[in-house]
Structure 1
Amino acid sequence: MTFENTSDVEGIVVWNFGNGSRGKGESASAEYPFAGTYNISMTLYAEGGSATKQYSLVVEEDDLSLLEHPMYTALTGGAENVDGKTWVFDQYNPGHFGVGPVDDVAPVWWAAGPNDKLESSLYTQTFTFKQVGVELDWNNNGYVYTNGAGLDGLAAMGYTNSVVPPDGDFDVEFSPADSYNFSLNTTDSVLTLTDGAFMGHYTGSSTYEIITLTETEMYLKVRSSAEPGNGWWYRFVPEELNVAPVIPLKEVPLVEDFEGDDLSVVFATEAMGDFTAAGYQNPAPVPINPSSKVYLYQKKAGEFYSNISFVADGYKFDLSEQNQITLKVYMPSYNDYSTENNVAGSWIANKVLQSSIAVKLQNDDLGGNAWSTQTEILMTELEKDKWLELTFDFSGVADREDYNKILIQFGTEGHDGGGIFFFDDFTFHN
C-alpha cells in the first residue's frame, strides 16, 4: 500500500505505518499481510514547526500472498519451515560488523576482522525468523553489546548492569521477550522488529535497511538513534554456515634480500614514516652485509605503535617444522636515544627510543586483537653503527597452530619518539 503526502507545505515527511515499520518521503509504501486495525501517522517537519496527521487503517482480511515474496523465503526458509531460520553474525569473515557515516554505503570508519568481537556478547546472539506468524525468536545468553552512547540509552530503559569485555565497549544484561514479530517491506527493502527488539547490538533503532538478503547472507544497515549521524552495518549468515574455516598448516620458507624489484616477501606498514622503503641504499655496505640494498624502517615520530608485518596467504605457520627468523640489522647512532617521549598510557615504562628490535608472531584472524595471543621476542641494547645478524628462536611455541603473521618493531613500542633503522636478508626457516 502506498501513502502520499497531499499537503502543499514544503518539509520533511516521516511515516509511522502502525505495523512496526516506518518510512520517509513524500510517498512511502507499507505491507499488511494480516487483518487488523493499524494506526497510521504522518508527521510533516517544516520551517514553522511540525504537524502530525493520524488515521486508522482497517485491513479486513489476511493477504498471505504478501508473504510469498522471495525475501520472506530467504529470511525465514518459507512457510513450510515451521521451525524458522536462525541467523548469526558472520564472525569468521571480515566486515561482519562496522560503522561509518549514516548516509555512506559502507562502514568506512571501521570494520571488524574475523572474530574481532569474540570476547564480547555479539556472537552469542541468535535470531530465528518464522514466516508463519511473522515471528522472531531472539536468544542472547543474557547480554547485548553496545558502545557508550548505547549504554546511556539502555540505562534510560532500566538496563543498568554492564561489564567491559576484553574486546572493549560494553556487554549489558538484557533479557529478550519470549518472542517478537517483524515486518518486511519488500518494496523498500526494510526489516522492522517489533517491541523494541534489535539485532544484538543496541543503537536505539529497530528498523534495518536490507542491503543483501539471500539464502546464505543477510547484510543490514541501521541508522543509529543513540548517535545520530552514525550508521552501523551487520552481516549475518545461517547458523549452520557459521563454521570456522579450515586453514592448513604449511612450512613455507621466506627469504628476502631486497635487491630486486619484485619482492618475494612484501611487508605491510602501519603508522610508519614516509621514508620507509624496501630496496633502499645500504648505509654501510661492509661485512657482514656488503649488499647494495636494504630495508629502511622509519619509526614515525608522534606514533606509539609503528610496525611492519607479513601475513601468510591462506595458511598458518607450521612452527613444528619452521620456527627460526633471522635477519641483519643496523642501528644508527644518530637517532635520539635519550629524550623522554610521550607514551600511550601509564602502563608504558620505557619513554625513550631504544636500540632494539622486537619480532612477534600473531594470529591475524583476530584483527585488532591480534596482539592478545602473540609471542614476542625482544632484543635490546644492540650495538650501534654495525651490521648485526640476529636469530629469533620461536621453537618454544612450536606447538602453536594459530599464527599466520610476522610483525617487526624497532625502537620499542608505546612511546612516540621517531627514528631510522635498517634491516636486510630476512629469512623464516627451520
Structure 2
Amino acid sequence: MNKRHIIFSALVLVGLTWFGCEPMELDKPNIGNAPTAEQLDFTITPGDDAFHFVITNTSTVKGIANWDLGNGIKTVGNSVTAYYPLAKTYNITLTLYASGGSTSKTKEFEQTETDWSYLESPIITALTGGVDAPNGKTWVIDSLTEAHLGVGPTDSYSPVWWAAAPLAKSGHFLYDDEFTFKLVGFTYKIDTHGKTHVNHDGNADEDGLSAGYYVSSFWNDAYDIDMNTNDAARGELTWSISQENGKYYIQISSQSGNISYDDGNPRKYEVLEWNENFFHLRTVGGAARYHKIIPKGYVRPTVSYTLNVTATANPNEFSFALEDLTVPSTFTISNITYDFGDGTSYQTTNGAEVVLHTYMRKGNYKTKVTVIANNQEFAKEYTVNVVANHPSYQEYLLDAMVMYNDFGETILVPMQVDQADGGATIQIVSNPNNSMYPNRSARCALFTKHNAQWANAYTRLPDGYRFDLTKQTVFKVLVYGKAGDQVLLKLENTDRGGNAWQTGTADLIYTIQNDNKWEIAEFNFAGVGAGWDWTGDIFTSDVTTDSRFNKDFYNVVRIMINPGNNGGTFSVHLDDLAGPHIEGLK
C-alpha cells in the first residue's frame, strides 16, 4: 500500500477533528434588537491557499459574532480565518448576540482538497509511525524516568505537588498498559491486559465503573485504586491533534480514552515536549497532571561505566576512574562531577581523567560521581573507608558542649524528619513565648507526629564525622509543650542501615513538667548501655567508657515525642540542640 493510499484510507474512515480554545460566550450586550434567523448570514471565501478560508459575518442586524468553525476551533469576530486540511464536510455555525437574545445559523462547507503535508507533519508521524506504520504505533508509560507521572496546580507547568520516582507504581498493573495511535482511521486503542491503576480521589474510577470499562476494584488507598478492566467497553476511539497559539494538543474522542494513567481529567493533553521516542503531556482541565510515554520496546540510550576507586601509595589518597566508559554516538558529555563525601567535589568533562583526592580525617565517606550527557544524569556511588587520620592532620577537641542547631542563626547540622510508621513534620516557627529565659530567641522548631509510634526528628552528622563521648557525655535541648508529654533522645550509627537500632543507645526520657513553658531537657549518656546481646552484635553497658562506642561510632541524634504512642497528634517545640564538641566540624 503506497503513501497516498494509506492516507486516503484514513480520510475515508474518519476525518481529523481539530480542537481549539473555547472562549467564553459574552453576555448579551445592548446593541440592537434580537436577531432572527432570516437576518443572519455569512460568506466563505478562499484565503491565502486552498486550505484557509475567510468567513465573514454579513448579517443585516448588528451583534457580536461567535463562531464554531467546525474544525474544533471556536472564536469571536466579524471576520475570521479557518483552516480546513481534509477533504470532508465541515459544519460552520454563526451565533449572533444582540439585546434580548441570540440566534444561530449553520452552513455546510465542502472541502474538496487535502493538505497532504499536514498529514505528513513530523508530530503526527512521530505519534503514529506515519504512512510506514499501517498498524500504528504503541506507547507505554516511561516508568524508568523521574516524574513520569506527576501533578501540580492548574496554572503550573511542573509537578510541584507530586512527581513519581522511577518505578514508583510497580506492582499496580500500570506499566504494561499500551496506548496505540493509528494514522489509518485516526483510531486509538487501549490495552490494559485486564488490570490497571487509576485515580481514586477524583472521578476516574467512578466514570469507568459507570461505563463498564472498569469492572471491579481489588486495592485502593486515599488517592489511587487498582481495577479489573474490560477495554472492549471503551467503544470505538479516535484521536485528533491541533495547534493553538503555537502549542500542540492531543485529544481523544471519548472520556473512556485516557493516555497513560487515568487521572479522570478531560481527555485533552497539551504536548510539552516530543520526538519520535518520547512525548511529555500535560492535561488540560482540572489539576495539571503530567505524563511521559515512550514507544513500546524502546530502550533509551544510556551512558555506561564502572566507577573504580583505589587507594594509592600516598596517605589517605584515592584515585577515581571511570572504566569501560561507553557513550552513545548521539550523546555528548557536558559535565562529570565527583562528590568525595567530605564536603568537597571536582568537575571535569574528560571521562578518561583519573581523579585523585586526599582525605584528612578517618571515617566512611559516601562518594558519588554524576555524568551528565544530553541533559540526562548517570550516577554511581561508592563508600570510601578511611581507617586513620592523615599524618598532617591535628585533632582539636574541646572539653565543652557546642550548639548544633538554634533554628535561627546557628545551624552546624540540620534537623530532618523520619516519618517511620506514620506522618511527621518539622517546621521553623516563631517562638511561642520569648518573654522570659531560658529562651528569648525569635525562632524555634515545631516537631509534630500524626498517628505514629516512632516518627522522629533527627540530626545526622556529615560523612566522616562522629560524636566523641570521651570528654563530654551530655546532650541538651530546650522543649516547650504539654505537661506529662515525654521527649526521647537516643544515639544511633547509620552504618548499620535498617539495623541501626541493634547498636543504638538505650532510650533516655525527659518528661515535660509544665504546660507551655520553656524547659531545659538534659540527657546524660554516662552509664547508659547500647545494643543487646541477643542480636549477636556488639553491646555495652556504658557507651561513654567502651572504646567501641564512645568515639568514631555514633553519628545520629533522634528525638521523639511520646514514643510508642500512635493514638493521635503530638507536638513539641524544640530549640538550641547542643551536645559534645564534634572534632573538625565547623
Shift of 1:232: 1.5
In structure 1, C-alpha distance between the alignment counterparts of 2:487 and 2:101, rounded to whole Å: 60
Q: Is the aligned partner of 1:148 residue 2:201?
A: yes
In structure 2, C-alpha distance between the alignment counterparts of 1:176 and 1:391, rounded to whole Å: 58
Residue type of the alignment partner of 1:147: H
Q: Paired residue for 1:169?
A: 224
Please list every run of 5 or more consecutive structure 2 residues that lacks an aligned counterpart in the other structure.
1-51, 303-376, 390-396, 405-411, 418-424, 430-443, 510-521, 538-554
Residue type of the alignment partner of 2:293: F
Q: Is the aligned partner of 1:231 residue 2:288?
A: yes
Q: Paired residue for 2:540?
A: none
Question: What's the CA shift string for 1:33-67, capped at 9, x where partnerless?
Answer: 55444555677999988876655443445443311
Q: Is the aligned partner of 1:101 residue 2:247?
A: no
Is this contact kept in 2: 1:84–1:131, CA < 8 A?
Answer: yes
Is this contact kept in 2: 1:411–1:419, CA < 8 A?
Answer: no
Residues 1:58 and 1:362: Cα distance change in structure 2 (over 3 Å): farther
Q: Paired residue for 1:366?
A: none
Residues 1:136 and 1:64: Cα distance change in structure 2 (over 3 Å): farther
Q: Is the aligned partner of 1:382 residue 2:516?
A: no
Shift of 1:104: 2.8
Residues 1:75 and 1:409: Cα distance change in structure 2 (over 3 Å): farther
Is this contact kept in 2: 1:120–1:167, CA < 8 A?
Answer: no
In structure 2, C-alpha distance between the alignment counterparts of 1:96 and 1:307, rounded to whole Å: 31
Q: Paired residue for 1:418?
A: 572
Q: Secondary structure at the match of 1:106?
A: coil
Q: Secondary structure at the match of 1:152?
A: helix
Mark the structure with the bigger radius of gyration.
2
Which of the residues 189, 193, 204 maps onto 1:137? 189
Q: Paired residue for 1:85?
A: 137
Residues 1:302 and 1:154: Cα distance change in structure 2 (over 3 Å): same
TM-score, with normalisation over the residues of structure 2? Answer: 0.47
In structure 1, C-alpha distance between the alignment counterparts of 2:428 and 2:197, rounded to whole Å: 42
Which of the residues 26, 32, 35 maps onto 2:76? 26
Which of the residues 332, 346, 369 maps onto 2:476? 332
In structure 2, C-alpha distance between the alignment counterparts of 1:300 and 1:149, rounded to whole Å: 33
1:168-207 pair list within 5 angstroms: 168-177=223-232, 180-186=237-243, 188-196=247-255, 197-199=257-259, 200-207=261-268
Question: What's the CA shift string for 1:347-406, capped at 9, x where partnerless?
Answer: xxxxx543346777999xxxxxxxxxx76637552375325799899999xxxxxxxxx9
Residue type of the alignment partner of 1:175: N
TM-score, with normalisation over the residues of structure 1? Answer: 0.61
Residues 1:157 and 1:419: Cα distance change in structure 2 (over 3 Å): same
Q: Paired residue for 2:306?
A: none
Query: When the two structures are aligned, how many residues end up with a matched partner?
Result: 355
Q: Paired residue for 2:367?
A: none
Residues 1:105 and 1:247: Cα distance change in structure 2 (over 3 Å): closer
Q: Secondary structure at the match of 1:184?
A: strand
Is this contact kept in 2: 1:31–1:66, CA < 8 A?
Answer: no
Q: Secondary structure at the match of 1:138?
A: strand
Which of the residues 143, 149, 168 maps onto 1:116? 168
1:271-286 pair list within 5 angstroms: 271-274=425-428
Question: What's the CA shift string for 1:104-142, capped at 9, x where partnerless?
Answer: 333333322333333434323222223344333322223
Residue type of the alignment partner of 1:209: E
In structure 2, C-alpha distance between the alignment counterparts of 1:102 and 1:58, rounded to whole Å: 39
In structure 1, C-alpha distance between the alignment counterparts of 2:74 and 2:582, rounded to whole Å: 59
Is this contact kept in 2: 1:35–1:59, CA < 8 A?
Answer: yes
Shift of 1:71: 1.0
Residues 1:47 and 1:83: Cα distance change in structure 2 (over 3 Å): farther
Q: Secondary structure at the match of 2:523?
A: coil
Is this contact kept in 2: 1:356–1:382, CA < 8 A?
Answer: yes
In structure 1, C-alpha distance between the alignment counterparts of 2:467 and 2:159, rounded to whole Å: 38
Please list every run of 5 or more consecutive structure 1 residues that lacks an aligned counterpart in the other structure.
276-297, 313-321, 342-351, 364-373, 397-405
Q: Is the aligned partner of 1:220 residue 2:281?
A: yes
Q: Which deviates the most, 380-389 or 233-242?
A: 380-389
Residues 1:3 and 1:85: Cα distance change in structure 2 (over 3 Å): farther
Residue type of the alignment partner of 1:354: L
